[in-house]
Chains A and B, each alone.
Chain A
Amino acid sequence: AQSVAQPEDQVNVAEGNPLTVKCTYSVSGNPYLFWYVQYPNRGLQFLLKYITGDNLVKGSYGFEAEFNKSQTSFHLKKPSALVSDSALYFCAVRDPFSSSGGYQKVTFGTGTKLQVIP
């Protein structure tokens, strides 16, 4: 069964400093990986995804994520944090070999709250 873990409930970072939000996964095959962001009282918004190719994926709002197969990780990064980046971040994984009725299930992590301190 596929799973995803976000080991930190909350990450605090000073504005202007680099930020990292951690994600590890477990799938039986090669994973499809996603990051979504949720602002207060809003739905999730897609940030970026990894399907294949370059291990460094660039996404919206200056975010990027690095796929590391040996460590089964897909950490979200940004070189310089903004106060407006404060939100809840979700990692998600899909195992392309796990299919039921034509649908490949996506498993979401429990979320990491990012707090950027001015």
Chain B
Amino acid sequence: NAGVTQTPKFRILKIGQSMTLQCTQDMNHNYMYWYRQDPGMGLKLIYYSVGAGITDKGEVPNGYNVSRSTTEDFPLRLELAAPSQTSVYFCASGYLAGGADTQYFGPGTRLTVL
């Protein structure tokens, strides 16, 4: 299994540009998540999905959109990029066991907005 894969690994955007961060998992997990990691700030949840066709906002959804048309894929769309969106973005997938889900993370996408 490849686990959780993310593309691209790095990206530089200009202010106002848009892009899609791709995320794919091959573990048949129902739960998928997008986080951003800023230095010294831990992880902040952007959006999550509990299954195909179902998505919901996390803590910091403004400026982002997601879709979940299949179990495997959970792309994150940035519209009108801003410098505040400079961060490392992690996608994760998970399953419930004993009432709590364990999350499996991708390698991350480092995004810089100039």
Contact = CB atoms under 8 A, between A and B. Distances in A.
Contacts, number: 59
B4 interface: yes
B102 A49 contact: yes
Given A43-B90, A43-B108, A111-B42, A106 B103 contact: yes
Interface string A70-105: 000000000000000000001000101000111111
A41 B37 CA distance: 12
Q: Give the size range of B's interface with the partner.
A: 20 to 34
Given A109-B42, A110-B40, A96 B104 contact: no
B5 to A, nearest CB: 10
Interface residues of A, number: 27
B2 to A, nearest CB: 13
Contact of A43 (B40, B42, B45, B92): B92
A101 B31 CA distance: 13
A56 interface: no
A51 B100 CA distance: 7
Contact of A105 (B45, B90, B102, B107): B45
B34 interface: no
A49 B41 CA distance: 22
Given A103-B48, A111-B42, A43 B107 contact: yes
Interface of B: 4, 31, 40-43, 45, 48, 50, 56, 58, 90, 92, 98-100, 102-108
Given A32-B99, A36-B103, 14 more contacts: A34-B100, A42-B108, A43-B90, A43-B92, A43-B105, A43-B107, A44-B92, A49-B100, A51-B100, A90-B42, A96-B100, A102-B50, A108-B43, A110-B41
